[in-house]
Structure 1
Amino acid sequence: MRKTLLILAYISATVTNLLFAQMNEHSIPFYMNKDGHIIVEAKIEGIEGSFILDTGAGQNVFFKKFHNKLGVRKSCGTYSAQRSTGEILTVPIYYSEDIEIGKFSFKNQMYSTYDIDVPNIDGLISLQPFKKKL
């Protein structure tokens, strides 16, 4: 009986560790700011920033001040999007070689820029990069 309990305890601990290992593999550290936005820390080509995780965004948006830290880039065209207010925006498209969010790494990700200054926020991360990861 004692041997059976030890085996069950070992199996339970092993399964629990495996479940947590899988959960950590697919988890992203985040926090909620005072405005209720989900904030994720990311590295864009090695440059750290704080981004709103925007589940409704069609693509990533880096605010102009952060975009300028990435160096001069040539636009690959334009993208038209509609804000939640209904306003239509046409913004330039760029590509980022590398985006790291938690344990996730994304290559050649499209993003746009927008000239707005939001304290402590460098842009928006959409769900688009995660489509093939989860």
Structure 2
Amino acid sequence: MHISKAEIEVRYAETDQMGVVYHANYLVWMEVGRTKLIQDLGFSYAGMEEQGIISPVIDLEISYKKPMRYGETATINTWIEEYNGIKSVYGYEIFSPSGDLAVQAKSSHVCVNKETFRPVKFKKMFPEWHEAYEKAKK
């Protein structure tokens, strides 16, 4: 299983009145993690979009364990939890600088045609990605 690591420095604008990271910002950080994972495997999400394919979120599970605060650096671990050639499920763990688990999450995605939003078979359209995902998954 390949685990990608990315770091995010918590910016003031990402915090709420309580001084902690606003919950929706973790979703943006998960996207950073997915993008890094795809890059680690040798591919580009932007390149896929240029071919008219997008990969929307179809399901999301997230559990907030410990708040992150302005000035801290979050470490985002991302991996392929499940993959079947059509649907990809990514796993995430976001850690505080002290190594405490702040967030645990999963997001499920399918690839669709950008114009029609009809599903496409990932393994057929992107056979190299398919092979890389098969090798990298949990």
TM-based fold match above 0.5: no
Q: TM-score, normalised by structure 1?
A: 0.22
Bigger-Rg structure (1/2): 1
More strand by share: 1
Q: TM-score, normalised by structure 2?
A: 0.22
